[in-house]
C-alpha cells in the first residue's frame, strides 16, 4: 500500500506501471466510494498505461482532515499528489465529484492535464437544498439512512439484486465511509460550479454517462459536453452512475478509443511529459 503526506493529511494511493515510461491515467472516484471502484477498468488498461488511483480526503484509507471541504481542497490534494509523484501531463478520468475535481485541476494547473475523461459528472451537480437535506440526514441518522436511495441512483435494477454479492459489497463501501468525510464532500459538491470554466477547457475531452444514471443523468452530462469546446459524448447502455463497476468492459473500450485518437493527435508521451 502506498501513502503520502499531502497538505497536512495522509492520502492513500496506488500506482501501477511506470509513469516515466507510459502515458499516465489518473482516476478520481465519486462520493461515498474509494479507489477500488476502478479495479475492473484498471486491470484492462494496465500494461499499456501507468495508472494512479487515490482515495480523496475523507474516503477510504485517506485522512479526514478538516471537514467540511471545498472542491478546491480536493483539487489541492490531487495537485499535491501529482507534484509529489512528479506526474505531469496526465489523462485525468474523474467520476462524479471526481469529475469535478478533474475540471478544477485543469482550471488551476492545466500543465498537469493532457486529456479529460469526465464520467457521470456535471459542471454543477444538484441544488443547495438537495445537498443540505442529505448532509442533515447523514449527520443525524448516519449514511445507512440514505443508502437505499443513493444505491438506486448508482446501479441499475438488475445489479441491485440481494443475490448479487457485489451489490452488497458496494453498499458496505458506501456506509463505511467516515460521516465527516462524506458530508464534507457533499458540501464541496454543493458549492462547486464549473459552468464558466468548462468553456475554457482546451484539451481533448470526453463526457461519458450510464444510460440509467439517476445522480447525474444523461441530459446533465450532455449539457456539460456542450459547454466544453469539441468535447465528445458517449452513453453506456445498462449502467447507472458507476459504469466502472457495472459496465467496465464498455467503459474501457470507450476510454481506449478516445485515448487512441486523442493521444495520437497530440504526439507521444514519455517520462510523464510530452516530447
Ligand atoms: O452519491 C450520489 O448521490 C451521487 C453523487 C453525486 C456526487 C458524487 O460524487 O456522487
Q: How far is the CA of 241 from the centre of ligand 1 (A)?
A: 8
pLDDT at 274: 40
pLDDT in tens, 160-207: 999 999 999 999 999 999 999 999 999 999 999 999 999 999 999 999
Does residue 64 sit in helix, strand or coil?
coil
pLDDT band, residue 269 (cuts 50/70/90): very low
**What is the pTM for the complete model shown?**
0.96
> Percentages helix, strand, coil for the chain, rounded to the nearest 5?
45, 20, 35
Q: What ipTM was predicted for this assembly? A: 0.95
In short, whether 17's Cβ falls inside 6 Å of ligand 1 is: no
Kind and range of the H or E run holding 9: strand 9-16
Question: Domains in the chain and their CATH numbers?
Answer: 2-266 (3.40.50.1820)
Question: Cell match 462520493: residue?
Answer: 31
Q: Find out whether the beta carbon of 177 lies less than 6 Å from any atom of ligand 1.
A: no
Residue with cell 476510454: 255
Is ligand 1 within 6 A of the CB of residue 28? no
For ligand 1, say whether the CB of 30 is within 6 Å of any of its atoms: yes
**96 CB under 6 A from ligand 1?**
yes
CB 245, CB 165: distance < 8 Å: no
End-to-end CA distance of the chain: 31
Amino acid at each position: 500500500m502506498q501513502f503520502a503526506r499531502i497538505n497536512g493529511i495522509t492520502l492513500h494511493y496506488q500506482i501501477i506501471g511506470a509513469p516515466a515510461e507510459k502515458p499516465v491515467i489518473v482516476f478520481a472516484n465519486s462520493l461515498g466510494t474509494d479507489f477500488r471502484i476502478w479495479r475492473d477498468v484498471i486491470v484492462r488498461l494496465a500494461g499499456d498505461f501507468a495508472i494512479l488511483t487515490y482515495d480523496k480526503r475523507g474516503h477510504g484509507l485517506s485522512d479526514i482532515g478538516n471537514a467540511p471541504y471545498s472542491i478546491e481542497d480536493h483539487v489541492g490534494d490531487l495537485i499535491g499528489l501529482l507534484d509529489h509523484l512528479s506526474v505531469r501531463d496526465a489523462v485525468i478520468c474523474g467520476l462524479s465529484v471526481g469529475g469535478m475535481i478533474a475540471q478544477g485541476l485543469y482550471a488551476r494547473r492545466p500543465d498537469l492535464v493532457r486529456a479529460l475523461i469526465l464520467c457521470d459528472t456535471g459542471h454543477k451537480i444538484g441544488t443547495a437544498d438537495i445537498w443540505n437535506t442529505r448532509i442533515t440526514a447523514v449527520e443525524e441518522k448516519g449514511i445507512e439512512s440514505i443508502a437505499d436511495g443513493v444505491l438506486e441512483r448508482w446501479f441499475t435494477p438488475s445489479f441491485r439484486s440481494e443475490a448479487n454479492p457485489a451489490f452488497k459489497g458496494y453498499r458496505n463501501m458506501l456506509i463505511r465511509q467516515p460521516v465527516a468525510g462524506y458530508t464534507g464532500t457533499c458540501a464541496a459538491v454543493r458549492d462547486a460550479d464549473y459552468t464558466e470554466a468548462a468553456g475554457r477547457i482546451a484539451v481533448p475531452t470526453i463526457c461519458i454517462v450510464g444510460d440509467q444514471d439517476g445522480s447525474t443523468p444523461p441530459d446533465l452530462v450532455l449539457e456539460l459536453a456542450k459547454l466544453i469546446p469539441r468535447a465528445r459524448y458517449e452513453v453506456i447502455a445498462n449502467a447507472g452512475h458507476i459504469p466502472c463497476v457495472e459496465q467496465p468492459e464498455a467503459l474501457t473500450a470507450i476510454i481506449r478509443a478516445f485515448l487512441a485518437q486523442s493521444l495520437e493527435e497530440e504526439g507521444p508521451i514519455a517520462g510523464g511529459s510530452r516530447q
